[in-house]
C-alpha cells in the first residue's frame, strides 16, 4: 500500500486557489477565522476579501 504524501501543517493557499490539502484552515486576517476545507475545493474569500489561508490541522 502506497503512503499518501500530505502537505505539511503550515502550508498556505490564497483565495481562489485549489485547496492542496483537506483540513482546518485559518484565515490570515484580523479578525481571523478557521474553516474546514476539502482538498480540491476552491479557497474561499473571507469577509468579502481575498486572503491567505494557512493549514493548521489535517483532516
Domain residue spans in the chain?
Answer: 12-58
Predicted TM-score (pTM) of the model is 0.91
CB 47 within 8 A of CB 35: no
Does residue 18 surpass a pLDDT of 90?
Answer: yes
- What average pLDDT does the structure give for the chain? 95
Mean pLDDT across the stretch 20-27?
Answer: 98
Per-residue CA distances from 36 to 1, 44, 56 (Å): 27, 11, 10
Amino acid at each position: 500500500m502506497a503512503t499518501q504524501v500530505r502537505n505539511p501543517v503550515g502550508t498556505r493557499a490564497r483565495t481562489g486557489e485549489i485547496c492542496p490539502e483537506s483540513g482546518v484552515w485559518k484565515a490570515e486576517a484580523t479578525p481571523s477565522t478557521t474553516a474546514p476545507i476539502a482538498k480540491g475545493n476552491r479557497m474561499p474569500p473571507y469577509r468579502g476579501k481575498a486572503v491567505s489561508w494557512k493549514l493548521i490541522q489535517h483532516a
